[in-house]
Amino acid sequence: MPEETYHGIARKEIPWHPTIDYEKCTNCGTCVKYCALGAYEFLVIQVEKKPIVKNPSNCVVFCTGCEEQCPAGAISFPSKKETRKIILKLKKEKLKDPLAPSNSVATPLSSFNT
């Protein structure tokens, strides 16, 4: 089941998800079958179908499993370092304003280990 929050931050606020390079993608469907959380779906256009990242927030933060499965090297992810910085920034903002919209209570910064 996809996570709704990550360390007290709404999952949708965290920019972590795969990106497909369609110059390299061969439409083999491995990524669609591999991701058990349904981040990918096939988009059917007449008789052709191509994978799309239909549900980016379903992707587990910092998972890169499908990248290794892609035989064409067409899947990439953002920088983990930059994503950690963004998460810490969001977490600090959340601690300053606990009433800001989110789906759960914020946890202390000291518990943030990725």
Which residues contribute to the site for ligand SF4 (CB under 6 A)?
Answer: 18, 20, 25-31, 34-35, 37, 39, 51, 59-60, 63-66, 70, 72, 74-75
Taking the complex as a whole, how short is the minimal distance between the CB of residue 108 and ligand SF4, in angstroms?
26
Q: Is 46 exposed, middle or buried (0-12, 13-18, 19+ CB in 10 A)?
A: exposed
Closer CB to ligand SF4, 9 or 66, in the complex: 66
Closer CB to ligand SF4, 53 or 106, in the complex: 53
Q: Which residues contact 18 (CB under 8 A, 6 or more apart)?
A: 31, 39, 40, 53, 56, 59, 66, 67, 75, 76, 77
Taking the complex as a whole, how short is the minimal distance between the CB of residue 17 and ligand SF4, in angstroms?
7
Rounded-to-integer distance, Cα 33 and Cα 4, Å: 22
Taking the complex as a whole, how short is the minimal distance between the CB of residue 77 and ligand SF4, in angstroms?
7
